[in-house]
Amino acid sequence: MPANLTPAYREADARFRSAVTREEKIACLEEMLRVIPKHKGTEKLQAELRSRLSKLKREPKKKGPARRDSHRIPREGSGQVVLVGCPNAGKSSLVAALTHAKPEVASYPLTTREATPGMMAYQDIAFQLVDLPPLCEEHVEPWVFDLVRAGDLVWLVVSIAQPLAGLDLVTELLGTKAVVLYPAGKAAPEETRPGWLHKPALLVVTGMDRKGAEGDLAALEELLETPWPIVPVSCVAGTGWDELGARTFEALEIIRVYCKEPKKEPDLERPFTLQRGATVGDLARTIHKDIADGLKFARVWGPSVFDGQSVKAAHVLEEGDVVEIHW
């Protein structure tokens, strides 16, 4: 049965989504419950509103002014990955499954209203995942787009239940804010319009535990107009994580290098992460300005050099290189 929500309800809902304090949110939810049409088609929604309201009322009051610092996420780890998708795509489920963060996951849409970062371990490094509120036609806070712009990589999250609708909506809405996604691993499109930003993206397809998912995925691959690099996963069965980690590492275009001191074993536990194409000089700058300023030469062990080869600052490093800096 259709919900037939009224303009008064939609206005209260919009106010709720932009509310910052607990008190504002409670007032909006009470208003939504007051004006929602009372019939069978809205029973589920009414129950959800009541459950949100009682949860908010149980939360302790925050002291001091409301803080909006969830809108700035300082970058941590080897790359910042922002999760973008329509409501219910599975963004929060991914962050909950892959990190220690605890974003709310629910079967109804528009669950997430804040940005939640969490660290995803990948071999000996970690990526920072940022769970975001959904992109949807009704309303998206401007700071959501700011966070998409700030990220190094986008996971364009769609559910196998509705992949094309989610994909189209997201690319369309990002386009209205001058953000264009392109398949990670391919060259970024030539800049066509000033001020437009191009971001590499992986298409992460959730719900691969669902009945018929394999067939739906094959159909999706055929229907895609853009050759997105697809990573199928299931947040329920916990599958696809290794590939998701490996593809993310590739898509971030980073390398790991390991440092050693003369006559000592290399530190193979804590690599430095650098952009592909980085040089010995870049590594030295990452470690310390004084080391970069005083750099004389480095000895490198790795696939493209002979063991302990002596190189200058301009030498380009490779994934897995071991470097001994002399300064």
Ligand X SMILES: Nc1nc2c(ncn2[C@@H]2O[C@H](COP(=O)(O)OP(=O)(O)OP(=O)(O)O)[C@@H](O)[C@H]2O)c(=O)[nH]1
Alpha carbon distances (Å) from 153 to 94, 99, 127, 129, 192 = 15, 17, 10, 10, 20
Alpha carbon distances (Å) from 62 to 20, 56, 57, 133 = 12, 12, 12, 22
Query: Nearest-CA neighbor of 94 among 17, 205, 226?
Result: 205
Q: Are 190 and 209 in contact (CB under 8 A)?
A: no
Looking only at residues 148 through 207 of this chain, which bind ligand X when binding is defined by CB under 6 A? 206-207
Encoded one letter per residue, x for contact with Mg ion by CB under 5 A and - for no contact, window 185-204 reads --------------------
Q: Are 103 and 174 in contact (CB under 8 A)?
A: no
Q: Are 221 and 175 in contact (CB under 8 A)?
A: no
Compute, in degrees rounded to 10, the torsion defined by CA atoms 82, 88, 90, 95. 60
What is the CB-side half-sphere exposure of residue 321 using CA atoms within 13 A?
29
**Which token pair is 206?**
């959730």
DSSP 275: E
Judged by beta carbon distances under 5 to 8 A according to partner kind, the member of Mg ion, ligand X, none in contact with residue 273 is: none
Residue 159 in the binding site for Mg ion (CB under 5 A): no
Looking only at residues 265 through 294 of this chain, which bind ligand X when binding is defined by CB under 6 A? none
Judged by beta carbon distances under 5 to 8 A according to partner kind, the member of Mg ion, ligand X, none in contact with residue 80 is: none
Closest CB 206 distance from ligand X, rounded Å: 4
Q: Which of 89, 153, 280, 323 binds ligand X (CB under 6 A)?
A: 89
Closest CB 117 distance from ligand X, rounded Å: 14
Closest CB 167 distance from ligand X, rounded Å: 14
Closest CB 44 distance from Mg ion, rounded Å: 18
Phi-psi region of 156 (alpha: psi -120 to 50; beta: other; left: phi over 0): beta
Which uninterrupted H or E stretch holds 24?
Answer: helix 22-35
Judged by beta carbon distances under 5 to 8 A according to partner kind, the member of Mg ion, ligand X, none in contact with residue 271 is: none
Looking only at residues 98 through 127 of this chain, which bind ligand X when binding is defined by CB under 6 A? 105-107, 109-112
Distance, CA of 200 to CA of 264 (rounded, Å): 39
Looking only at residues 222 through 251 of this chain, which bind ligand X when binding is defined by CB under 6 A? 234-236
Which uninterrupted H or E stretch holds 202?
Answer: strand 197-206
Between 116 and 273, whose beta carbon lies closer to Mg ion?
116
Between 149 and 210, whose beta carbon lies closer to ligand X?
210
Strand partners, 122: 125
Q: Which of 78, 80, 93, 273 binds ligand X (CB under 6 A)?
A: 93
Encoded one letter per residue, x for contact with Mg ion by CB under 5 A and - for no contact, window 101-120 reads ----------xx--------
Q: Using CB under 5 A, which of the segments 78-86, 87-95, 151-159, 316-324 binds Mg ion?
A: 87-95
Judged by beta carbon distances under 5 to 8 A according to partner kind, the member of ligand X, Mg ion, none in contact with residue 198 is: none
Distance, CA of 243 to CA of 203 (rounded, Å): 12
Closest CB 212 distance from ligand X, rounded Å: 12
Q: Which of 92, 99, 116, 273 binds Mg ion (CB under 5 A)?
A: 92
Closest CB 259 distance from ligand X, rounded Å: 39
Judged by beta carbon distances under 5 to 8 A according to partner kind, the member of Mg ion, ligand X, none in contact with residue 85 is: ligand X
Applying CB under 6 A, which residues contact ligand X?
85, 87-93, 105-107, 109-112, 134, 206-207, 209-210, 234-236
Applying CB under 5 A, which residues contact Mg ion?
91-92, 111-112
